Amino acid sequence: MLLVCAVTLMVFSLFGPNAVSQTGITASWISAALLVALAAAFQLALPERIDRHGGYVLIALIGVTLCCGMNWITSDPSAGAQAFLAFPVLWAGVHLRRDAVALVTLVAIGGDAVVLFHLEPLGNAVTDLSFFGAVLAVMALMLVRSGETQDRLVALLQEQASIDSLTGLVNRRVLDEALSTALTTRISRHGTALVLVDVDSFKSINDQHGHPVGDDALAHIAGVLGTVVRASDAVVSRMGGDELAVLLLDCPADVAVRRATEVLDAVRAAPLVLPDGGLLGISVSLGVAHAPSHALGLEELYAAADQALYAAKRAGRGRVEVAGV
């Protein structure tokens, strides 16, 4: 984009108002050279470094300064000359944050005011500034609002892609990412524990009370988990169906078993209130696996916890079993 602007200035130095005087021609070529140098610098520099030092805001402000400077040098307050101020404001509105867009727009309107009041009679300057100032301000506002709306939609889509709508817990993908990070970074002194939680006789709940009650049971258990497990050191997920999972970070194996037992007792102590006011006792089975005690990799840890869970089911349900025991 900087190179396109540079070429445009060079063309204007041959034709149009910039070619009327030697001053306009010289200023056009100097400005074009500056834009080419900036384009090369921005191409070579890291985008994160440019953003950290305010480079993208600076580009927009340089564009405003060049537009106003060329209009002053060529004594051109025409609508066509002022229209070039739309380019840096447009660029800022699309790429920059709200505060930066406001800054660029205010500088553009202020710079245009200086040029107009210098070149035109007072009445004409006020009229032109009112019109172009309103155009620039409305254009910037619309772009900012459009960008913020898009950001909210993207954030909503990301949340929907990571959150289970029934329980409010994160989904399997998020759990896998957290578990993979925990296993590969190995910054934990005590290891990582995975607890799988399965609702006992869930099909019977659905058959006897209906699927809405089954959904309520899952949401209820998710709420109980939230009261037992601290979000600061754990990731609680719905794996799918009636199976939930708790990832305990920096957690020894014996502590993981104790936390699983606390979950079991909490679910037993908190029956679900049915729509008719009755109480439905819910039982869960839990399987605990620990890395590196029982497994090293992600799939191995899942398999170990799954084997422990089925051992709890075979042993009569409503209990905690540990992998390898």
Rounded-to-integer distance, Cα 114 and Cα 261, Å? 74
Query: Using an 8 Å Cβ cutoff, are 218 and 282 in contact?
Result: no
Low-confidence ranges of the chain (pLDDT < 50): none
Up-side HSE of residue 128: CA atoms within 13 Å toward CB?
24
pLDDT at site 304: 92
Which segments of the chain belong to CATH 3.30.70.270? 172-322
Rounded-to-integer distance, Cα 177 and Cα 189, Å? 20
Rounded-to-integer distance, Cα 54 and Cα 100, Å? 9
pLDDT at site 125: 92
Rounded-to-integer distance, Cα 2 and Cα 41, Å? 11
Nearest-CA neighbor of 228 among 253, 199, 195, 250?
Answer: 195
Q: What fold is seen in the domain 172-322?
A: Alpha-Beta Plaits (3.30.70)
Rounded-to-integer distance, Cα 268 and Cα 217, Å? 12
